[in-house]
A and B are shown apart, each in its own frame.
Chain A
Amino acid sequence: MAKIGVFTCWCGENIAQNVDVQHVAAEIAKLPNVHCSIEYKYMCSEPGQAMIREKIAAEKLTGMVIASCSPHMHLNTFRKAAKNAGLNPYQVEMANIREHCSWVHRNREEATLKAVDLVKMAVAKVRKNQELVPIDIPVTKRVLVVGGGVAGIQAALDIADAGYEVVMVEREPSIGGRMAGLSETFPTLDCSQCILTPRMVDIGQHPNITLHTYSEVAKVEGFIGNFKASILKKARYVDVNTCTGCGTCWNSCPSKKTPSEFDFGLGTRTAIYVPFPQAVPAKPVIDQNACIKLTKGKCGVCMKKCQANAIDFDDKDALVEEEVGAVIVATGFKLFQIGKEQDLEGQSGYGEYGYDKYPDVIDSLQFERLASASGPTNGEIRRPSDGKVPKNIVFISCVGSRDNAKGVPYCSKVCCMYTAKHTMLYKHKVHDGVAHVFYMDIRAGGKNYEEFVRRAIEQDGAQYHRGRVSKITEKHGTLIVRGVDTLAGLPLTIEADMVVLASAIKPTNGAQELAQKLNVGYDNYGFLSESHPKLRPVETASAGVFVCGACQGPKDIPESVAQASAAAAKTLVIFSKEELTRDPEIAKVNEKVCAGCFTCQRVCAFNAIEQVDIRSPNGKLIKRIARVNPGLCMGCGTCVAVCPSKSVDLSGTTEQQVYSMVKSLT
């Protein structure tokens, strides 16, 4: 026989003002199974909770209803109180007589009537409540980090240093990501590679880190604590274990004309190559499209020269399986394709800037390579067309950003800062040169950022013009940049030797496909969605999958690193326990009546429904039924609604509970 305690709260005057709390308590006391009905000024206060605990223990209550505020406010408070007093926390229900009643109805009589109804509904529900026990699932204490840029590196090192195994997957032949290609970083102008490469080496040498470069995530199955990832290791044609990284092979490779991906086409590389000297691992790969041996069948110079016998032209793509308990996605960004990306009407964005037409119109990542000491010009600013040092250089910000018509509507966040940095790097290398900047607004929010921009303008003499550029043409090797200075209210034409376009930041290729494999949402632009923009910034809709860095939105290095450490911390929370505790309010299949139509499986957004064979003792298949994986089920109940035989039900909100609530209103 159920013994239900009902505790009606005054919430000071908040409820009592518009609801006759004493009347509610008296009415509810008349209901069957209601063992005690008590009203009190503040149920959530410590004396209130103490009273609840005492009542549960003294009256041996089997269920309780708190009539007070929203369950989003205090359900956990009262569940804890119940648990402390020995009552199963899932035997607690709340009737929301504050937000949904006393605060929105002025007529005291009507509000009191409604409050009685709301409490009745909760009593009707709690009569049918079942004791639920949180579900424990085992945890594989290994993490998969997808992407080896600065965010991935930070997350991997944090977790590896905490003593857990990390599997890092990087698509390129080396880790390092975008940051490895940058020259110097704002607002301190410290050398990007100088701060990043030691971290890359740490990754390569860390005993807890397994590194898969030149690899991609092919498939991810499973759920929090229990993921199974298939990793496609692309054929490298070089055995990384025997290769010493001596460099004989790439120094002797006759195929030398492939544009370097790392230098964004400003330099060339050989067919067997390491992307940059500080690569981790410092072992080459063979580009199968450029290699003469692999395309035409003859050559093999590298194989003949290799002392370590590390070259294997028969190498094949391979799949590697890794079991992990959590996944961190840090796939980073690419730049908006100037003059190539088309809008809905098929117009390509910013073709008028001649990015593909004029070699001296480059994008900002290309400028980073020009300014980098390890770049194709060894750090000298020289025009790609004729190698001359540009004396007039124009930087155009917001190319693609904040442009609904031709680009993307969002702000790419870092361009204002790196454009200021570019003007400084230029001025520090070309003392007699002039740097012009066309800008919309200068957004320099961040520690020491505004000061940095002021330095570019005041000390390094960058000429900032507020306005847009309409067209770039070429005349006798000089770029004619036609724009407007909106502060002067005049058209402005600058004859420039070189133009640098700060193009918008977009998520990297394949980010959406990866998100689909991981069941993570993404926005219209392909940036992965966090589960709450403020309070859950690195979690995703998929439990155990975290995001960090620019794959989640445009970000600078400090933010990417901070977010990566946050993702690492969240991963370590999962690893801090032997078993994960999951909310038991999830779907459950009545296997006796399940007919095996699997409609539930088709509607489940979390792949939580599995097909299970029921067999007789001699192994004969009796029937195939649906079963809910408690590690994956999020408890939405969509399967309950579609089940034709009503074989699925949702613990905590069972069909009987809902029907009883509705029926109590009769």
Chain B
Amino acid sequence: MSDEKEQFEPKIIAYVCNWCTYLGADLAGTNRLEYPANVRIVRLPCTGRIDFNLMVKAFEAGADSVLVSGCHPGDCHYTTGNFHARRRWILFRSLLDTMGIDVDRIHFTWISAAEGKKWQEVVTDITESTRKLGPYTAYQRVCGES
């Protein structure tokens, strides 16, 4: 018990699209698939909406990890939004890296409305990996107090 009490509980902010991943997370609920309670979902219409600023805002708010998740390629409710998200992610990954932001704390994945199980696994994995990384105190050193 003492171990569990000392266990670091990371704060994870998930930006998810309304049509696939949000519904995937809903399905995880309907199927009662248990996962760590560390994730806080922000529902956006589409991953195409997610920009660089949202990443930074999440870390400013004290997130230890950020998850971006949308529809699988080809399944976007808005036809191409997730492709834009993917391109942006490829670009910003190196930009964030150059800025000194720990890119291991940013996760990008596709979860469909049918993949409740995958949502459970992704959130569990990210929580575990973030626990290992520890609190993201370095962000304050890089970017200063917000």
Contact = CB atoms under 8 A, between A and B. Distances in A.
A535 to B, nearest CB: 13
Given A113-B37, A658-B54, A636 B48 contact: yes
Interface in A627-666: 634-638, 640-642, 650, 653, 655, 658-659, 661-663, 665-666
B43 to A, nearest CB: 7
Contacts of B32: 103-104
Interface string B48-76: 11110110011011110000000000000
Contact of A101 (B30, B37, B77): B37
Contacts of B61: 662-663, 665-666
Interface stretch (A51-59, A92-100, A210-218, A241-249): A92-100
Nearest to A585: B45
Contacts of B33: 104
Contacts of B78: 605-606, 634, 636, 638
Nearest to A520: B79
Contacts of B54: 658, 662
A641 B43 contact: no
Contacts of A665: 11, 13, 40, 61-63
Interface stretch (A114-122, A232-240, A321-329, A345-353): A114-122
Interface stretch (B18-26, B93-101, B128-136): B18-26
A523 to B, nearest CB: 10
A638 B54 CA distance: 13
A172 B80 CA distance: 34
Contact of A99 (B30, B40, B44, B77): B30
A90 to B, nearest CB: 14
Nearest to B59: A662
A121 B35 contact: no
Nearest to B35: A104
Contacts of B138: none
B44 A658 contact: yes
A103 B45 contact: no
Contact of B37 (A110, A655, A666): A110
A521 interface: yes
Nearest to A109: B37
Interface in B1-42: 11, 13, 22-23, 25-30, 32-37, 40-42
A114 B11 CA distance: 10
A641 B35 contact: no
A113 B9 CA distance: 12
Contacts of A663: 57, 60-61
A666 B145 CA distance: 12
Interface string B79-93: 111001100100000
Nearest to B9: A110
A638 B26 CA distance: 24
Contacts of A98: 29
Interface centre among A70, A110, A603, A637 (most CB of B within 10 A): A637
B122 interface: no
B27 to A, nearest CB: 8
A653 B37 contact: no
A222 interface: no
B101 to A, nearest CB: 16
B42 A635 contact: no
A71 interface: yes
Interface centre among B33, B43, B57 (most CB of A within 10 A): B43
Contacts of B85: 641
Nearest to A99: B29
Nearest to B30: A99
A640 B51 contact: yes
Contact of B42 (A99, A111, A605, A661): A661
A230 to B, nearest CB: 23
B84 A100 contact: no
A104 B29 contact: yes
Contacts of B84: 603, 638, 641-642
Contacts of A118: 40-41
B46 interface: yes
A638 B49 contact: yes
Interface centre among A98, A118, A666 (most CB of B within 10 A): A666
B13 A636 contact: no
B34 A641 contact: no
A72 B22 contact: yes
A370 B78 CA distance: 47
B81 A650 contact: no
Nearest to B54: A658
A585 B40 CA distance: 23
A636 B28 contact: no
Nearest to B84: A638
A105 interface: yes
Interface centre among B11, B23, B78 (most CB of A within 10 A): B78
Nearest to B29: A99
A72 B26 contact: yes
Nearest to A106: B34
A650 B40 contact: no
A289 interface: no
Contact of A653 (B11, B13, B44, B81): B44
B95 to A, nearest CB: 14
Contact of A605 (B28, B44, B79): B79
Contacts of B120: 104
A641 B29 contact: no
Contacts of A96: 26, 41
Contact of A637 (B11, B27, B48, B62): B48
A107 interface: yes
Contacts of B37: 101, 104-105, 107, 110-111, 113-114
A611 B146 CA distance: 38
Nearest to B51: A641
Contacts of A638: 46, 48-49, 78, 80-81, 84
A100 B25 contact: yes
Contacts of A114: 37, 40
Given A72-B26, A98-B29, A653-B49, A541 B40 contact: no
B90 to A, nearest CB: 14
A171 B23 CA distance: 42
A105 to B, nearest CB: 4
Contacts of B43: 71
Interface centre among B11, B34, B42, B45 (most CB of A within 10 A): B45
Contacts of A117: 40
B51 A103 contact: no
A605 B49 CA distance: 13
B146 to A, nearest CB: 8
Interface of A: 70-72, 96, 98-101, 103-107, 110-111, 113-114, 117-118, 121, 521, 541, 585, 603, 605-606, 634-638, 640-642, 650, 653, 655, 658-659, 661-663, 665-666
Q: What 10 A-B pairs come out closest when comparing CB atoms?
A: A99-B29, A637-B49, A638-B48, A636-B78, A641-B51, A103-B29, A636-B46, A110-B37, A605-B79, A105-B37
Given A636-B45, A638-B78, 4 more contacts: A99-B29, A634-B78, A641-B85, A653-B49
10 contacts: A99-B28, A100-B26, A100-B29, A110-B37, A113-B37, A118-B40, A585-B45, A636-B45, A641-B85, A661-B42
